[in-house]
């Protein structure tokens, strides 16, 4: 139909629902997860996540340099409207004192102020706080930190710079693996599937099944973040 033999749809839940509709019209379509937020429920990894993390990590490293030289606290807002995977991974990678994500309720005094104050008491001269955009309020949080602690604090919202850049090696390899898997399905006349990664293995699911799956933040990563921030 429409002169289309098969279609590979890269995106998230909305894109997959579109692929599902195309399949109902007789166009074989296979979905591939692609979003920097890594919040697609059926897969452990979505194309774009690692590239965005590299961008965020580089930005935080640069902000840490200036925070160190001026003995400041830096509050950095990263993308993740409904999921805190970027904030959590980047926070661990850069040794942030506090990581605030939508999935976990937080107490400002306990989870933000306390690690900053305790760090200063141990002789630390800079602090990094990572906030996912789903929580938001980086500017207000920075103002509040400074007013209470007296520590000069600056807010940075990284914004759409996270969506660009040359793809990382991991993204290129995973995208190639998923692409090959998708094409093989279409060559067999199989559509209405979503390609995914589970336990580092490329698999596929019925689109409706994939859309019904749930995905939670790793408890192990949360524990790691807590220990690293001490």
Element (H, E) at 210: helix 207-212
Q: Which residues pair with 201 in a beta bridge?
A: 198
Helices (H), 41-188: 49-69, 85-94, 114-121, 138-149, 169-187
Q: Do domains 7-48+167-212 and 51-163 have the same CATH topology?
A: yes
pLDDT at position 173, please? 97
Q: Considering all CA atoms of the chain, what is the largest pairwise distance in Å, rounded to the nearest integer?
A: 69
CATH of 7-48+167-212 among 3.10.180.10, 3.40.980.10, 3.40.50.450, 3.40.50.1980: 3.40.50.450
Q: Which superfamily does CATH assign the domain made up of 51-163 to?
A: Phosphofructokinase domain (3.40.50.460)
Separation of alpha carbons 14 and 92, rounded Å: 30
Separation of alpha carbons 47 and 99, rounded Å: 23
60: CB partners within 8 A, 6+ apart: 76, 90, 94, 96, 128, 130
Q: Is 37 a catalytic residue?
A: yes
Separation of alpha carbons 196 and 203, rounded Å: 5
Backbone dihedral angles phi then psi of residue 16, each to the nearest 5 degrees: -70, -35
pLDDT at position 230, please? 61
pLDDT at position 183, please? 96
**Per-residue pLDDT of the chain in tens (230 residues, 90 and over written 9):** 678 888 999 998 889 999 898 888 888 999 999 999 999 999 999 999 999 999 999 999 999 888 878 888 899 999 988 899 999 999 999 989 999 999 888 899 998 988 889 888 888 888 999 999 989 889 999 999 999 999 888 999 998 888 888 999 999 999 999 999 999 999 999 999 999 999 999 999 999 999 898 888 888 988 898 887 76
Domain ranges of the chain: 7-48+167-212, 51-163
pLDDT at position 91, please? 94
- Size of the chain, expressed as the number of residues it contains: 230
Annotated catalytic residue, options 5, 13, 21, 37: 37
Q: Which of 228, 11, 217 is nearest to 102 (CA)?
A: 217
> Please, which contacts does 220-226 make with residues 24 or more away whose CB atoms are closer than 8 Å?
221/88, 221/89, 221/92, 222/88, 222/104, 224/92, 225/88, 225/91, 225/92, 225/96, 225/99
Separation of alpha carbons 178 and 5, rounded Å: 19
């Amino acid at each position: 139909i429409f002169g289309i033999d098969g279609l590979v749809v890269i995106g998230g839940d909305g894109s997959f629902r579109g692929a599902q509709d195309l399949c109902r019209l007789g166009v074989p379509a296979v979905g591939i997860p692609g979003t920097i937020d890594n919040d697609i429920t059926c897969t452990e990894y979505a194309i774009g996540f690692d590239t965005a993390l590299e961008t965020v990590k580089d930005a935080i490293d640069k902000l840490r340099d200036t925070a160190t030289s001026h003995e400041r606290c830096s509050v950095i807002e990263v993308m993740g409207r409904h999921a805190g995977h970027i904030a959590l991974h980047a926070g661990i990678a850069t040794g942030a004192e506090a990581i605030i994500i939508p999935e976990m309720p937080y107490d400002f005094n306990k989870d933000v102020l306390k690690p900053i104050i305790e760090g200063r008491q141990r002789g630390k001269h800079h602090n990094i706080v990572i906030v996912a955009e789903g929580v938001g309020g980086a500017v207000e949080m920075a103002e509040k930190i400074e007013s209470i602690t007296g520590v000069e604090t600056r807010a940075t919202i990284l914004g759409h710079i996270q969506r660009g850049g040359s793809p990382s090696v991991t993204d290129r390899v995973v995208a190639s693996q998923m692409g090959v898997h998708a094409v093989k399905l279409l060559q067999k006349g199989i559509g209405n599937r979503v390609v995914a990664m589970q336990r580092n293995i490329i698999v596929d699911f019925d689109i409706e099944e994939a859309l019904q799956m749930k995905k939670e933040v790793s408890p192990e990563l949360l524990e790691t973040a807590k220990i690293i921030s001490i």
